[in-house]
């Protein structure tokens, strides 16, 4: 479910209700289902890519472009569950921002461990601070490729 207003620290605030929906694409098979939706305004083109892996986790990616479709920022939120040797689960939320607006890209990341499976909580961003992580210009090529390839993925759902 997409909220009317999307606000992400270090990325921006977007009023989706006032933006035009350009296109939507579903993809996935088995426990994995995804949907990418592209919105546009005079200032931005944004795409929200949400993939669910059932009880195993999710991956939400926000792509922010300028009106000429130059990629400016990518925000990725990944919720993952991992079993420890004891048999207990650890739930990890990782949020990453890739900022390509500068001559040298900036990557910010924060991780948080959670006590409860996301099925039983409201999705919330971490309260931890972002830290800079090493990056290179190849990330821009990777994220552009990943974005355009998502539109080609197939859907084998019901």
Q: Where are the domains of the chain?
A: 5-150
- Report, as ranges of residue numbers, the positions in the chain whose pLDDT lies below 50: 1, 137
* pLDDT on residue 1: 44
DSSP 119: G
Entry pTM:
0.82
Query: How far apart are alpha carbons 31 and 93 in whole angstroms?
Result: 20
């Amino acid at each position: 479910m997409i909220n009317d207003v999307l606000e992400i620290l270090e990325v921006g605030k977007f009023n989706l209700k006032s933006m035009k929906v350009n296109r939507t694409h579903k993809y996935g098979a088995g426990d994995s289902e995804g949907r990418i939706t592209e919105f546009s305004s005079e200032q931005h083109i944004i795409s929200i890519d949400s993939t669910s892996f059932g009880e195993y986790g999710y991956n939400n990616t926000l792509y922010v472009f300028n009106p000429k479709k130059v990629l400016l920022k990518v925000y990725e939120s990944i919720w993952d569950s991992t079993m420890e040797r004891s048999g207990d689960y650890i739930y990890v939320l990782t949020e990453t921002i890739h900022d390509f607006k500068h001559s040298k890209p900036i990557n910010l990341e924060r991780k948080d461990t959670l006590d409860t499976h996301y099925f039983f909580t409201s999705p919330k961003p971490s309260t931890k601070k972002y830290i800079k992580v090493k990056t290179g210009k190849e990330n821009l090529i990777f994220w552009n490729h990943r974005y355009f390839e998502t539109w080609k993925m197939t859907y084998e759902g019901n």
